[in-house]
Structure 1
Amino acid sequence: MPTLADSRVAPPKGWDEFEDIVCSAAKNRWRNSDFTRHGRQGQEQHGVDVYGKDDKGQVVGLQCKNTCSGVTERTIEDEVENAEAFEPALRMLYIATTALTDKKIQAFVRTRSENRQAAGLFGIEILFWNDVWHDLTLDEARVYQHFPHLKPHAVTEREQPHDQRLFQEFQSVFSFVPAIQLLRDHDFGGSYPRKAIQPLFDFVEAWNQPDREFLDKGLQAALADLYRAARVMSNHLCDKTVPIGNGDYASVFSDQQRATGPRPEHVIEEARILNQQASLFVPIYEHFFRLCRSTLSR
């Protein structure tokens, strides 16, 4: 049974809500309810949106970046410079972002933090959405404060109708973020994080068996359509992409091909096919999801 920490929950779209979530997550991380948001909209914040004291009694600040596409090294440098003016002086600055984990940015932040601390300046760390979510789930009450729809209903799991339980399980395995969002928005001419597409393969591996069949015939027919489309999509990804770099990313354009010259025509064609297949698959997923929601809410 998936736990809250294991659930894949999409980050909020609004910056204001994200700052509230980061404040709650900070209270959980350092077991200190005194963390608070800094100032209000329109006021100078000196690179700090949330501040408080960590478990060692040291002042720490958090700068919130609601940027699913990630943060750049330049952005981090700018926020560090802004936070130098915060009073009292910080011991650590945390950049919290709604983006997926990025090893390159993590390495950059580690190096900059070590250099700064060696010079007697505050250190820096970066918290990606999965880090913020993990901290938030340390206190379920705070999770439900920001995500009330996740709060269990009064009925027990045994009493809950089969199809509703199955739809909840489906959402925990194959939610819109990150896999469907990537398939909808990504141009497969470029590389993509393999971790983001993994839910598609998890679904294909485990959702073609009797214990994951809906009792409602319409929902089961839609699930079967989705499963067939997911098999096609996953097969195309396996056939047309390969791991690149350290293996965290995949692309139709292999490292070996990159080293030998321009992108070959067959690579361009494979990217076109993947984009086409993704554009066919996403509406099937969305139809199934909406059908479940409308049918099970009656």
Structure 2
Amino acid sequence: MAGNNTFATPESSDDFEAMCHQLYSLVWNDPGCMRVGRSGQSQFGVDILAFDGTRNVGIQCKHYTKTKFTIATVQGDVQKADDANLQIGHLLFATTTASEAEIVRQVHELSTSRRASGKFTVSVAFWGDICGHIRVHPTVGKSFIPNYPGGTILKISEESSEILSLVRDVSLKLNNLPGASGTEVDRSGSGFSDSRISGCLASQ
């Protein structure tokens, strides 16, 4: 569910990951930003590898609708990246969940401790943070966000509504023709009544 001043979230985990890939390549102006493997493959605690202008960054995407985002979630993927000896300077968790002050505090403490030990740092981009980037780069929102103004998903819905409206108008006009009995248009879905079809065949 979208909160105040946020957009609806992408419909699937894969869509969310694809959106983050496009979004952060624009945010950091990094044409080399890449997704790591595919769904089901071992990804060493990251879904996307990028360069933010100063350091290599790993992005872990968490498309959660009911699952709770916790510090254990962060610690688990941090450990995977450590075990893989991944050469990154920072690990960013991008999630569809709303910001929680306690998680922010815990992640900040973890990141500070890791920096002191010479390890990569950690942060979380909650859905509200991500929406801020989408407002700056609306082309991403148009491709992935349901009902985004001018978006592909909204456009398809609007075009479908226009087609239905056109069909209704044609139906009314046919039924109002001189001599029409009101049964010329078959509303069950075939498009024409048996009598109109017979008439067409007889004229051939």
Q: Do the two structures share a fold, i.e. TM-score over 0.5?
A: yes
Change (3 A) 1:116 1:104: same
Q: Which has more helix, going by share of residues? A: 1
Q: Which of 10, 13, 16 is the aligned partner of 2:14?
A: 16
Query: Shift of the alpha carbon at 1:73?
Result: 1.3
AA at the equivalent of 1:109: V
- Rounded to whole Å, the distance in 2 between the matches of 1:88 and 1:151 is 39
Q: Secondary structure at the match of 1:137?
A: helix
Q: Runs of 4 or more off by more than 4 Å in structure 1?
A: none
Equivalent in 12, 15, 28 of residue 26 of structure 2: 28
Partner of 1:32, secondary structure, is coil
Task: Pick from 132, 135, 142 the counterpart of residue 134 of structure 1.
Answer: 132
Aligned-partner Cα distance in 2 for 1:79–1:71: 12
Distance 2:83 2:64 in 1: 24
* Counterpart for residue 202 of structure 2: none
Match of 2:114 in 1: 116
> Deviation at 1:143?
2.0
Show the counterpart of 1:47: 45
1:106 maps to which residue? 104
- 2: CA distance, partners of 1:138 / 1:35: 18
Q: Which residue of 2 aligns with 1:60?
A: 57
After superposition, the CA RMSD in angstroms is 2.5
Counterpart Cα distance in 1 of 2:140 and 2:25: 10
Q: Partner letter of residue 67 of structure 1?
A: Y
Could you say which structure has the larger radius of gyration? 2
Aligned to 2:158: none
Q: How many residues align?
A: 152
Tell me the TM-score normalised to structure 2 length. Answer: 0.67
Letter in 2 for 1:66: H
Q: Provide Cα deviations, 1:45-94, integer angstroms capped at 9, x if missing partner.
A: 000001111121x1100111111343111111101001114465110001
Aligned to 1:95: 93
In the alignment, the residues of structure 2 paired with residue 74 and residue 149 of structure 1 have an alpha-carbon distance, to the nearest angstrom, of: 33
* Unpaired stretches in structure 2, ≥5 consecutive residues: 152-160, 166-204
**Does structure 2 conserve the Cα–Cα contact (< 8 Å) formed by 1:68 and 1:97?**
no
Report the Cα distance in structure 1 between the residues aligned to 2:140 and 2:123, rounded to whole angstroms: 23
Q: Secondary structure at the match of 1:34?
A: coil
Structure 1: runs of 5+ lacking an equivalent: 1-5, 154-293
TM-score by length of 1: 0.47
Higher relative contact order (CA 8 A, sep 6+): 2
Contact 1:48/1:86, CA 8 A, preserved across alignment: no
